[in-house]
Amino acid sequence: MPGPTELLIIMFIVLLLFGAGRISRIGYELGDGIRGFRKGLKDAESNDNPTA
């Protein structure tokens, strides 16, 4: 398992490869996907237990 120094080096290399703008966009899209997934789970639960 990499230590803190190795993780910093890896993060620096990723930043150089992708750039700050692209990394922030990827983070936004990942968060948007997670929100959509949670909303889908909540909608599925509400459809499983209909109120009569």
User: DSSP assignment of the chain, as one string?
Assistant: ---HHHHHHHHHHHHHHH-HHHHHHHHHHHHHHHHHHHHHHHHHHHHHS---
Q: How confident is the model at residue 33, as a pLDDT?
A: 95
Q: How far apart are CA 2 and CA 9, in angstroms?
A: 10
The third-level CATH classification (topology) of the domain covering 4-47 is 1.20.5
Q: Report pTM.
A: 0.55
The residue extents of the domains of the chain are 4-47
Q: How confident is the model at residue 23, as a pLDDT?
A: 83
Q: Per residue of the chain (52 residues), what is the pLDDT tens digit?
A: 779 999 999 989 988 888 878 888 888 999 999 999 999 999 888 877 666 5
Q: How confident is the model at residue 8, as a pLDDT?
A: 93
Radius of gyration of the chain from Cα atoms?
Answer: 19
Q: How confident is the model at residue 40, as a pLDDT?
A: 92
